[in-house]
Amino acid sequence: MTRHLVVFQPSGKRGRIRRGSSILEAARGLGVDLETICGGRQTCGKCRVRVEEGSRSALGISSGRRHLSPPTEREWELLGEMAIAQGYRLACAATIQGDLHLFVPEGSRAVRQVVPKTTIQRAIPLKPALRRCYVELPPPSLEDPRGDWERLSQELGRNFGLAGLDIDYQVLGRLAQELRSGDWKVTVTVWHDREVVKVEPGLVDKSYGLALDIGTTTLAGYLCDLSSGQVMAAGAALNPQVSYGEDVVSRIAYAMETPQGLDRLHDVVVEALNDMVRNLVGEVGLAAEDISEVTVVGNTAMHHLFLRLDPRHLGRIPFAPTLHRPLDIKARDLGLRVHPAANVHVLPIEAGFVGADNVAVLIAEEPYNQEEMALIVDIGTNGELVLGNRQRLLSASCATGPAFEGAHIRFGMRAAPGAIEKVSIDPHSLEVGFKVVGEERWSGERPEVKARGICGSGIIDAVAEMLKAGIIKPNGTFNRDISSPRLLLGGTEPEFVIARAQESALGREITVSQGDVRAVQLAKGALYSGARVLMAKLGIQRVDKVVLAGSFGLSIDREKALTLGLFPYCEPERVHCVGNAAGEGARLALINVDKRREAAEVARWVEYVELTLEPSFPEEFAAAMAFPAP
């Protein structure tokens, strides 16, 4: 099999890659992080690289454009004739036919996303699945030669009323050693009064658990003291599956179309979770094996990939999952490096595209216990809506698309350092100020700070400010009657300059284009129209409150969200940002097993509405594309 030398700059990473592989496959294999928002499907145009022509004796390579397959039709569309003439190609489209020296421009380099860890901790009685029992046993003798397990189980039955216990096989294998090293005085951890999952020498008065929220973009973990229910350490990280696709559809396609694709997606997320575990326990001086119980939430696709379940039918009508009910499985069976006998409790799925994360939000917010009519909005790549109160709850999933994650935006990027996250526009001069992720001061206060692109909260801010300043009209089109050097009308579509070239790390202007505004309209139209369909089904015209869940809800300005009409109008003071409510639901299920039963019940009780089958949805969606008049 022919292999060719491929060198990436500026990282300097190199390797011999099989002929016919794509540049993206080579980058993944060599650990070069490229932006691949669409997962390599030639739709986002973010993974551009430049071929360096000529021989490089220091590198031992002779590189040229002829060493790549011809440009595809999509490359001509996304890159344009000039860029291709300059040697630019899409890494996902171009296949390797010879030795290559490639330069990855700054805009194509994936950077670590800044993700908040925030969760609002609700007070709740403690009722964990784990029970600690301290026992002192008589050692065996010729008069009492009972087996170690029989001796221990009988003592647990006599002193704690635990009859008919089982013991985890791996724990059984270490039982003799633990009993004798503790001089027959041990602390036994029992799961659900059914199974012994840990035996420790001496008196141990603490148990620890882990709550995990596996998001499409973000992983969040909360290490908890099961004696108090409090979070001891929290962590967040980018879901490494994003390199295989920014949205769930891309990942499902990768899992099904790529040999060992499902295994790969499972392995990378579990490895990232194991890294998180190491970091969390390291913060508080524990070991990974101290974690004896885990709860997990995630949308339906993340749920299936984490459990290594075939996800192909999630993308086909009627979107049937492999599993609806909750699941208990051993950590070792998933590759999670905590205590090997630890139980992993995965919360139930509500419907095809409304997953365990939405159920977790519900058990955290408890709209089913309230009289107020609440609209809960989880804004992400796949927007999830819940509307109702104690009388009735409806849920829906709407394809907002990845615009709010920075995709399908010309200069869009994740919420990483250098991403524009806040924008202000003077309504008279149309001068722009912006703030980037990782900096507290605005652009005018610190001109040396350069912008790399625009993230989701930044595009919402920018479009809302453009609407208020009259740069765009309520129908989303640009107002060509205004006069400003920032308004560019000479290209294929109108653009408005947010960051000038000297303010940009890209060396060129960062703009919001007509296409970007349309992407925001599509995303906000999906959310708004979905909410309107649910409201019509309940026969209401207004909601009493709006709850914005998820880490994205923390970063957006609720006034700007109302300006754009992301959701039906509600008094601003009745719009609440609750942080990672899904992560909080996972924590509640970790520290109180009644919440697990509650989750199973509410997952069955909530009524799922498939918006695409609703006759009123197309009309509502068309109407929702317009912005409210300023």
Average pLDDT in the 128-148 region? 93
pLDDT (tens digit per residue) in 175-189: 999 999 999 999 999
Look at residues 221, 197, 201, 264 and name the one whose alpha carbon lies nearest to residue 39. Answer: 264
What pLDDT is attached to residue 584? 94
Summarised one tens digit per residue, pLDDT across range 282-311 is 999 999 999 999 999 999 999 999 999 999
Structure tokens, 226 = 């099961």
Is the distance from CB of 514 to CB of 477 less than 8 angstroms? Answer: yes
CATH topology of domain 130-201: Ubiquitin-like (UB roll) (3.10.20)
pLDDT tens, position by position, 194-208: 999 999 999 998 999
Encoded tokens for 549: 């869940």
DSSP class of residue 572 equals G
List the structure tokens of 302. 């993340």
Q: Residue 152: enclosing H or E segment and its boundaries?
A: helix 148-160
Q: Where in the sequence of the chain do the CATH 3.10.20.880 domains occur?
A: 130-201
Q: CATH 3.10.20.30 spans which residues of the chain? A: 3-108
Which residues, 6+ apart, have CB-to-CB distance to 195 below 8 Å? 165, 166, 167, 168
Alpha-carbon separation of residue 399 from 55, 305, 384, 524, 563 (angstroms): 48, 20, 9, 10, 21
| C-alpha span between 510 and 410 (Å, rounded) | 9
pLDDT, residue 369, reads 95
For residue 348, pLDDT over 90 is answered with yes
Strand partners, 454: 412, 420
DSSP code for 478: B
Which three-class secondary structure state does DSSP give residue 21?
coil
CATH topology of domain 3-108: Ubiquitin-like (UB roll) (3.10.20)
pLDDT at 381: 66
Tokens 């799961």 sit on residue? 191
Residue keyed to tokens 């919402």: 460
Q: For the CA atoms of 59, 61, 63, 66, what is the dihedral angle to 10 degrees? A: -160
CA dihedral 590, 591, 592, 598 (to 10 degrees): -40
With tokens 């029989």, the residue in question is 150
Highest-confidence segment of 105-109, 115-119, 136-140, 438-442? 136-140
Give yes or no for a contact between 37 and 246, defined as CB atoms under 8 angstroms apart: yes
Could you tell me if 286 and 183 are in contact, meaning their C-beta atoms sit under 8 angstroms apart? no
**Could you tell me the pLDDT band of residue 315, with boundaries at 50, 70 and 90?**
confident
Spatial strand order in the sheet of 453-454:
432-436, 419-425, 453-454
- pTM, two decimals, is 0.81
